[in-house]
Amino acid sequence: MVAGRKSASGQPLLANDPHLGIQMPSIWYEIGLHCQPVSVECPYDVRGLTFATVPGIVIGHNAKIAWGVTNVGWDTQDLYTIKANPENPLQYEWNGTWRDMTVRPEEIRFGDGEPSIMLDVRVTHLGPIINDYTLNDDGTVGGYSDEPLALRWTSYEQSTMMTAIMKLNQAANWDDFRAALRSWDTAAQNFIYADLEGNIGYQTPGRVPVRTAGHTGLLPVDGSSDAYEWKGYVPFENLPSVFNPERGYIATANQALVPQEYYGQLANTLGEEFGADSHYTFGYYWAYGDRGQRIVEMLEASDTHDFESFRAIQGDNKLIFAEEIAPDLQAMTFEDASLTEIRDWMLAWDYQLHMDSPQAALFVAFWQRLAQAVYDDQTGFENYGSGSQMWSMVNLLQEPDNAWWDDTTTADVTETPTQLVERARARRL
């Protein structure tokens, strides 16, 4: 997105790509809500994209503003180990006493005439038990878990998201836009904004848990007392937001939102409300950042943008990761001359993942096998080649003596990066 001063038309340009899996029917469908005439009683003149059953437009524009979204990836879930009463599986320990669970019956239906199964879901005040009922070898369903885990999740709480959507559809300016997003309390998103006055902005809404010190949200914690209960949520005013940034553009592609220093600022600002023993984080797992980096590169490549330049940005397939590790691969010396030849041909490439590019196909296959060669002996991942593995590979190639390069299944050999690249050639996924 660029501000009006960076647009050939003098008006902001906003492009959105909330890519989800391809399926039929599509997750998104296009719709318009048009009152004729627009009035206080019927205030809608908006079009865009939405989900089935949602009474409004999730992504779109009205006569005054436009907005788009990408997933922000906040950590809004925590697991708690529950101590069930050995004498009564429908009770759990809480602060030294037994507390009753509620039971929610759930019917699991199957196709092809198979009989349905009824399950009693145990629910604590922290959330439902998610690991009850194992499937026995004979196909029958087992009973309650002896080590129950409760899931607390902001999406299990009462929500005003539909109110936010309907207010968003009527918003006429930045203040209206932010006021609408105050009600967007779950399924946090990166929202970008543009209006007819040439303004652009960014706001992320939603509930972000404030945890106790020592509770990072990364691992299950004891759910038998209030020691690890959430203290509340980061106030809307303290969530990341920007209006008319000096650089004149905004780009989001699931990358990390803020630097680590931001959490220290939250601690200083919110210490009086939540106490000094609080832990603040928006999350830990972000996209690698190459897509966001590429968007910024292309936005900064020109002082003025138009529909054609935005179309080029959205259609760009450059794999920055390949460009980043190419010098490291090029510097390797292989005993097999054919591997050197293949390497040189593969890297004589513009790093665009076009579907008709043989180098692109070869690089992706090679990268998946290299990731498997490096990580499989110590992790046993099911999938290789993810964004997080790209980030770690860029760093590992700067550390040829790092222990990750050593294949732990070969006790008499300490492998090098070059050796694992050679092995990747012969590996099958």
Please say if the pLDDT value at position 67 is more than 60: yes
Would you state the pLDDT for residue 139? 65
Please say if the pLDDT value at position 228 is more than 60: yes
Q: Helices then strands (H, E): number in the chain? A: 10, 19
Instruction: Say whether 232 sits in a helix, a strand or coil.
Output: strand
Strands (E), 55-173: 59-61, 65-71, 77-81, 84-85, 88-94, 97-100, 102-108, 117-124, 127-128, 149-153
Could you read off the pLDDT of 9-32 as tens digits, one per residue? 999 999 998 878 888 888 899 999
Answer for the pair 110, 103: CB distance below 8 angstroms, yes or no. Answer: no
* Residue 429 confidence class, pLDDT cut points 50, 70, 90: very low
Would you state the pLDDT for residue 13? 97
What gap in Å lies between CA 231 and CA 212, rounded to an integer?
A: 7
Instruction: Say whether 59 sits in a helix, a strand or coil.
Output: strand
Q: pTM here?
A: 0.89
Please say if the pLDDT value at position 417 is more than 70: yes
| pLDDT mean across residues, the chain | 93
* Residue 427 confidence class, pLDDT cut points 50, 70, 90: low
Please say if the pLDDT value at position 140 is more than 80: no
Please say if the pLDDT value at position 212 is more than 50: yes
Could you read off the pLDDT of 27-54 as tens digits, one per residue? 899 999 999 999 999 999 999 999 988 9
What gap in Å lies between CA 129 and CA 144, rounded to an integer?
A: 9
Q: What percent of the chain has pLDDT over 90?
A: 77
Among 272, 198, 188, 270, smallest CA distance to 1 is for 198
| Stretch 222-243: mean pLDDT | 97
What gap in Å lies between CA 237 and CA 266, rounded to an integer?
A: 11
Q: Which domains, ranges and CATH numbers included, belong to the chain?
A: 4-73+157-312 (3.60.20.10), 83-147 (2.30.120.10), 320-426 (1.10.1400.10)
For 44, 281, 385, 404, 406, the CA distances from 400, given in Å and listed in that order, are: 60, 32, 20, 9, 10
Among 162, 158, 161, 181, smallest CA distance to 171 is for 181
Please say if the pLDDT value at position 200 is more than 80: yes
What gap in Å lies between CA 66 and CA 57, rounded to an integer?
A: 11
- Residue 282 CB: number of other CB atoms within 10 A? 23
Please say if the pLDDT value at position 195 is more than 70: yes
Q: In this structure, which amino acid lies at residue 25?
A: P
| Stretch 71-100: mean pLDDT | 96
